[in-house]
Structures are given as C-alpha cells and as structure tokens.
Amino acid sequence: MTVLISGGSKSGKSLLAQELTLRLANGGKRYYVATMIPADEEDRARIRRHLAEREGMGFETLECGRDLSAALQTAQPDAAFLLDSTTALLMNVLFPDPVSCETDTDAAARCADELVAFARSVRHAVIVSDSLYADAAHYDGSTEVFRRSLARIDRALAAVCDVVIEAAAGNFTIHKGELPL
C-alpha cells in the first residue's frame, strides 16, 4: 500500500506518517527515508525532534538528500518505508547550490519520476509532502518554479498512491482510498 500525506507545516503529517508506517510494517522491517540536508540550526533542531519522535519505533534511517534510487539499493523492497519529505528532496535537487539559487530546470521532472518509481517499487510507502503551493500569493521566479514543481510531484504521486490524505491543523481528510485498519 502507498500513502501520500500532504499538508501545511506542523499539521501532524509526520506523526500520522509514523503511525501508518508502523501499521503497514506489522512488526516487520521499516525504513525512514530522510531527505533533508540541514542548512542551519533550525534544520538540525527539526531533525533532532523527528529522531526523538521515532525513538524506539525500530526505523532504520536511510539518508537520501538527492539520489533516492541509490539510497534504496541496500533496502528491502518488501519493507515499509516512510519518506519525509518530497519537499526537502525537491529543494535539494532543484537548487543544488543554495547560495546561488540557480535552478536545475530538469530536476523537478526527474524528482517526480524518481518518486513515482519509488512508490511503485516498494511494498509499502508513506510519503510526506507539504502543500506550499496552495495559497494564491505570487512569489519571485525561483519560488514559483519550486511551488509548481512540488504541485506537479503531489499530482503525480496522488495518481499512483492507494491513499491520499490532506493534513490541516491535526485534522485529516482522505481524498482517495481507505486507511489500513
């Protein structure tokens, strides 16, 4: 089963994703696919918080800042995977040099294809994304490229995932499929 959870910051996505991954693993192997490459202390604090939240849950962490397929070469495809998040993965590949903010224009399409291939290649996956594209504001060019790219990834994943969930302020709306019991 594959599940996409998308929503705003601090909406409960990660905690729900952990719970669903444990349920899908059913006592079996589980991986946490960590996509954030920390850039500052705030990022490092978020990583520490996520590590503390998963402590004792039996996740093996796969660090994957850019090349998802390489990180999965040593993993067992019949395990349960929690990928957190598509947003960080896209940021890493779209802006390979964060200082210059120059975009790799083909990166978004490659990232979408890689995430869809990942979802199709593993037995169970819970994928976390951020709905940063959901407001009506207009931003600078590179931010708009990022927002459109993230929306494209969410649409592609929603098409192939069994369950699609929107998270907002701790409330969850299932837009596709049914959650596992």
Residue 181 belongs to some domain of the structure: no
Residue 107 belongs to domain with CATH number: 3.40.50.300
User: Each residue of 18-63: pLDDT tens digit?
Assistant: 999 999 999 999 999 999 998 899 989 988 988 888 889 999 999 9
Which residue in 35, 29, 32 sits closest to 53, CA to CA? 32
- CA dist 172 to 15, 83, 164, Å? 12, 18, 10
Residue 112 belongs to some domain of the structure: yes
Residue 133 belongs to some domain of the structure: yes
Range(s) of the domain holding residue 64: 2-176
Q: Which residue has the higher pLDDT, 62 or 70?
A: 62
CB 123 within 8 A of CB 162: no
Q: For the chain, how many structural domains are there in total?
A: 1
Burial class, 24, CB count within 10 angstroms (exposed 0-12 / middle 13-18 / buried 19+): buried
CB atoms within 10 A of CB 74: 9
Please state the pTM of the whole predicted model: 0.92
Residue 79 belongs to some domain of the structure: yes
